[in-house]
Chain A
């Protein structure tokens, strides 16, 4: 089975790495492809045995969050992610949020019909996140890490405890 993990760098990536390490313990047969953003931290990720392949998307560089999300919808980003998905053809996509997950989930659902699992960031206790607001509609499974968020999102949201 091939799993594609899509998330922003920083705290999103820490959460993703933690989940994937445990997942590997439970399921040795999973191949993991990571799509994240180009940052100081992600430059050496290819040497990690956890990931079979790593793709880095160019960071927007904008401080303003609305411009950052505009970047997530830009044609160059969509084309790059489209190519990755076409090449890798993963069986399932999971995300721990951030802008990188937006093109990955939309293209997975709309173009490829790949099942998607969204994991809301542990950092969000009571308020919806920007990617969550959008990707609620592009997720087969939508998981929040704090129960306060269940009613904010709606019926599809599930809670199984937090990462810690």
Chain B
């Protein structure tokens, strides 16, 4: 199954949903889409608007490939499961977000090899087929807390004295 998510935003992400719907018949796996408040309704794929957090995690676990908008929480959840998502940033010029910070996080994560970016929606199909060919394992899930958290643990102890 190929899972597509646009997050809990109250702004739709038509560009991604339309492109995925057009690709769905050509793909070797079933496509399921979480479309949020997008006004375009998929014709070639199963879809739903929103789901609770646990259901979303189940879809992430079951998917062969995950295509997502560049919401930081969603990407973090996917990476924590040890998967590498295909990420399409929402852009301000299409009215998909209030600014272009999704573009920035995608570029920064691409540099670290954590995501597969799709900046041009025409290239989405290619990216999915490549992803299906390769084994999309991200870095193994971190067992020890990151430095940031270790420092926060220290800080909550000592913060009164700062």
Contacts and interface: CB of A to CB of B under 8 A. Distances in A.
A123 B71 contact: yes
Interface string A86-125: 0000011010000000000000000000010101011111
Nearest to A61: B10
Contacts of B145: 22-23, 25-26
Nearest to A13: B73
B144 to A, nearest CB: 9
Interface of A (DSSP majority class)? loop
A109 to B, nearest CB: 12
Contact of A15 (B8, B53, B72, B114): B72
Contacts of A14: 72-74, 76-77
Given A11-B76, A26-B145, A125-B101, A41 B156 contact: no
Interface of B (DSSP majority class)? helix
Interface string B53-88: 100000000000000001111101101100000000
Interface stretch (B13-21, B116-124, B146-154): B146-154
A39 B53 CA distance: 11
Given A121-B72, A123-B105, A125-B105, A27 B156 contact: yes
Contact of B8 (A10, A44, A124): A10
B11 interface: yes
Given A11-B76, A14-B73, A23-B153, A163 B162 contact: no
Contacts of A119: 148, 152
A145 interface: yes
Contacts of B71: 10-11, 123
Contact of B153 (A27, A121, A124): A27
A126 interface: yes
A12 B73 CA distance: 7
A49 B144 CA distance: 20
Interface residues of A, number: 46
Candidate in A12, A145, A163 with the most chain B CB atoms within 10 angstroms: A163
Contact of B152 (A13, A94, A146): A94
Contacts of B160: 91-92, 115
A164 B142 CA distance: 8
B155 interface: yes
A140 B148 contact: no
B52 interface: yes
A164 B114 contact: yes
Interface in A15-52: 15, 18-19, 22-23, 25-27, 30, 39-41, 44
Contact of A127 (B8, B53, B99): B99
A26 B153 contact: yes
Contact of B151 (A127, A140, A160, A162): A160
Given A92-B156, A123-B101, 4 more contacts: A30-B156, A40-B8, A122-B76, A143-B152
